[in-house]
Structure 1
Amino acid sequence: MKTRLLFTMMFLFVGGILTSSAQNETRLGAMLAYGTEIENLGVGVNAELPIMENLSISPGFIYYFPKNEAGIDLRWWEINGNANYYFVNNDNLGLYGLGGLNYSHVKVDYDGNSFGGSSMGVSDGRFGLNLGAGANFSIGSSIIPFAEAKYVIIDGGQLVIGAGVKFNL
């Protein structure tokens, strides 16, 4: 129920900003990410919605590939809502600091054969804070490569390093 409510709130938020933003700097993107706590790759989507000069809102979602080690299945995904402040924003390069909120959801399933019993599982979701930095690289088209690194302040903490492309809308 919490997950459905979070997705609904995120889509309403993004939809409201997309319809109210008249600037052509709105961007949608896709990325590959690596999380140090899960020690695995993930795929993600994000958006960048300008709200003021040098400031944008950047919602995103990352789904980490499932992991199976010694009969334990691990599934992890996260929703992020960041504010990006551009320190450098010229025709060739955009450097920004980011800060925002994170919701991480982890599900662990235990194989019953490994533990001498039936299968069981547990899931948990936690809220945290994001702090990081990123860069957009202009290549002279509507496709913008980017790289980003953030630290998620949450139980155990996680460094997430990502890279991908954003598309101007």
Structure 2
Amino acid sequence: MMKKFITTLCFVCFTSLMATAQEDTRIGGFIAYGSEIKSVGVGANAEFPIINNLTIAPSFIYYLPKDEDIIKTTIFEINGNANYYFMNDDSIGFYGLAGINYTSVKVEVEDFGFGFGFGGASSSEGKIGLNLGAGANFNIGKNWMPFAELKYVLSDYDQLVLLAGVKFNL
């Protein structure tokens, strides 16, 4: 009986929270640059309001592969951030961010072509880190808004990431 009551209460609270926050839910796309890997990436993000001035913001970045002679490096990252809006008026929304980062790096060595049956080799590794940064949404009076973000990833793959793109209001 108590389990059903708690489940129902949680469902009602979650549903009402999502109903009031639906108008501020956003999805978007962006272009990013990683300072240590010196590569451009493309990504997608979303923003889900939780309470006043606080959103959950998952994102994914795929960096363009780097080919250096016979070595190809592919990197992607998955992020789960919380954005806190310090300022959110009619023209600009400025926020600080903190969250979890997962970065995956895959390195492939091409076949040397000597005909000895060596088909190349590959190795991949993923590391968890911490994101810290800030961003801004620029309200231009449309159903979409440009934004920019700067974050630092603290992990075995430390780097500064600058990104810019657009978010669409749902």
Q: Sort the TM-score into its range (normalised by shorter chain).
A: 0.7 to 0.9
1:118 CA displacement: 4.7
Q: Which amino acid counterpart does residue 134 of structure 1 have in structure 2?
A: G
Matches within 5 A, 1:15-30: 21-22=18-19, 23=21, 24-30=23-29
Q: CA RMSD in A?
A: 2.0
Deviations 1:60-82 (A, max 9, x none): 10111111012110100010000
Aligned to 1:163: 164
| CA 1:18–1:130: 2 relative to 1, 3 Å | farther
Q: 1:60, 1:19 → 2: CA distance?
A: 25
Aligned to 2:84: 85
Secondary structure of 2:24 counterpart: coil
CA contact (8 A) 1:45 1:60 kept: yes
| CA 1:52–1:19: 2 relative to 1, 3 Å | closer
Q: How many residues align?
A: 153
Q: Which amino acid counterpart does residue 123 of structure 1 have in structure 2?
A: S
Secondary structure of 1:21 counterpart: helix
Aligned to 1:6: none
Q: 1:18, 1:93 → 2: CA distance?
A: 28
Secondary structure of 2:166 counterpart: strand
1:112 CA displacement: 3.7
The more displaced of 19-28 and 32-41 is 19-28
CA contact (8 A) 2:61 2:78 kept: yes
Aligned to 2:145: 144
Q: TM-score normalized by structure 1?
A: 0.85
Identity %: 55
Secondary structure of 2:156 counterpart: coil
Q: TM-score normalized by structure 2?
A: 0.84
Deviations 1:29-73 (A, max 9, x none): 100000112211111000000001110000010111111012110
Q: Which runs of 5+ in 2 are unaligned?
A: 1-13
